[in-house]
Amino acid sequence: MQRIPVKEVLSTDPSGQQITVMGWVRSFRSNRFIALNDGSCLGNLQVVVDFEQFDEALLKRVTVGAALSVSGSLVPSQGSGQRQELQCSSIEILGDCDPGVYPLQPKKHSLEFLRQIAHLRFRTNTFGAIFRIRHQIAFAIHEFFHNRGFYYMHSPIITASDAEGAGEMFRVTTLDLHNPPRTENGQPDFSQDFFGRSAHLTVSGQLEGELAALALSKIYTFGPTFRAENSNTPRHLAEFWMIEPEVAFADLNSNMDLAEGLLKFVIGKILSVCEEDLKFLHDREVEEEKTKPQNERSEMNLLERLRFCVDHDFVRLSYTEAIDILRNSNPNKKGKFQFPVEKWGTDLQSEHERYLVEKHFKKPVILTDYPKEIKAFYMRQNEDGKTVAAMDILFPGIGEIVGGSQREERLELLERRMEEMHIPAEEMYWYLDTRRFGSCPHAGFGLGFERLVLFITGMNNIRDVIPFPRFPGNAEF
């Protein structure tokens, strides 16, 4: 008999039909009720066992975590917790699970503990929900762009370009580390390396994305990126996934519209498609909030935050306006900020961003037109000569979730800026060629995929929304 996913069974009207279901035991209660989960959805199928019909030795092997194939008839449940249940006529143990050594017990586990057994944490309700939602978010992102005429472009993962300056890079090499070939001055000779030159893992697909956008008009990348920064926070990973759309004939305003539209579409989609998993994470967060002191509890719960994002326009304001607000804010006047806001031109600290998003506006904020000194070389210079057409989207609890800009399409201005920032123009000939041959206004942004998953699932640590997190000192599994 063919296996039917639990998700399908749970949406079937029970009428005594014979079915086979395979999954893993979540609990075995009263020597009678097996809760069987196959990961197709959050819910378990209740399998009812009449122990007189089964060998006692077989039932002893029905332990938490064991893989079973069960067959029987699907009938309306007599209990109140579920619509249907499987009256079991046969049980086959596909894989035993020794409860004495199996780390997952039918009890609460801390996220820190589960992180240490990340290879098994998929089997918990929480991580099942997170990774089902993660899939749906990825799918919704592709759907959004595809429906709007964007082409999915695969930017390279290994790159010889290290000019973008988005962060420290991981080197890719096949040279013998103990005895590399040397140049005259004693440095490793990368001309003898695999690619005939120094190579690294990409920190961003943006520059290559621009090349494609200046021919295909609308492209997006969605792939892994790597940063060898020694970042130890709940918002950073050394390996993370990034979505980077790039649009020709677009300015900063349409760039903001695109980013806001994308976030609203994806969040809205998840609200409708992942109702059950979201509700579970929502309730989980509500329970967790109860353990916190009153003043640390968030004003909105998870579902409220998500709906709020979909229903309200993001606040758009310039860096200059933000500085004014911050300068005149109560915490600044009362010296509550660790870094007081004084002069125009300094970068905002995360405490300032949090104040704007969580206290002042209480909604997502798009900050625009930053001082050129604190932004990347490729951002388009504004008429004031001081700022660039940049935009960052700040989310409550997450901080920067999107960073983007209109790109500098004017060759002379771009070359001058690169010179000022000591970026070798000759190595970037291929990038500058776009400005030499049919340059046009264009814009794009980078969206941190895991930060979006973090926001939508309501989790607090980015290491809990990617299956196998990579961060300083850790590449387990």
Partner RNA sequence: GCCUCUUUAGCUCAGUUGGUUAGAGCGUCGGACUGUUAAUCCGCAGGUCCUUGGUUCGAGCCCAAGAAGAGGCGCCA
d(CA 129, CA 112): 17
The partner residues of 221 in beta bridges, in order of sequence, read: 244
Classify residue 105 by its DSSP letter: -
| Smallest distance from RNA to CB 181, Å | 29
| Smallest distance from RNA to CB 101, Å | 8
Tokens for 149, please give them. 């005429």
Nearer to RNA, 128 or 403 (CB): 403
The answer for residues whose C-beta is within 8 angstroms of residue 136's C-beta and 6 or more apart is: 269, 270, 273, 274
| Smallest distance from RNA to CB 342, Å | 15
d(CA 393, CA 23): 42
| Smallest distance from RNA to CB 189, Å | 28
Nearer to RNA, 11 or 191 (CB): 11
Nearer to RNA, 212 or 348 (CB): 348
d(CA 70, CA 427): 63
| Smallest distance from RNA to CB 366, Å | 12
Nearest CA to 227 among 254, 250, 247, 201? 201
d(CA 111, CA 115): 6
| Smallest distance from RNA to CB 276, Å | 14
Tokens for 226, please give them. 């790597």
Nearer to RNA, 351 or 433 (CB): 351
Half-sphere exposure of 287 (CA within 13 A, CB side): 7
Nearer to RNA, 72 or 441 (CB): 72
d(CA 462, CA 349): 20
Nearer to RNA, 423 or 447 (CB): 447
Nearer to RNA, 192 or 231 (CB): 231
Nearer to RNA, 352 or 435 (CB): 352
The answer for residues whose C-beta is within 8 angstroms of residue 115's C-beta and 6 or more apart is: 121, 463, 464, 469
| Smallest distance from RNA to CB 284, Å | 9
Nearer to RNA, 193 or 258 (CB): 258
The partner residues of 445 in beta bridges, in order of sequence, read: 404
d(CA 236, CA 228): 11
Tokens for 408, please give them. 């500098």
Cβ neighbours around 72 below 10 Å, total:
21
Nearer to RNA, 32 or 307 (CB): 32
Half-sphere exposure of 332 (CA within 13 A, CB side): 21
Nearer to RNA, 193 or 464 (CB): 464
d(CA 429, CA 223): 24
Nearest CA to 368 among 449, 250, 255? 255
Nearest CA to 123 among 139, 138, 102? 102
d(CA 24, CA 277): 19
| Smallest distance from RNA to CB 232, Å | 4
Q: Which DSSP string corresponds to 443-476?
A: EEEEEEHHHHHHHHHT-S-GGGSSSS--BTTB--
| Smallest distance from RNA to CB 475, Å | 11
| Smallest distance from RNA to CB 191, Å | 29
| Smallest distance from RNA to CB 141, Å | 14
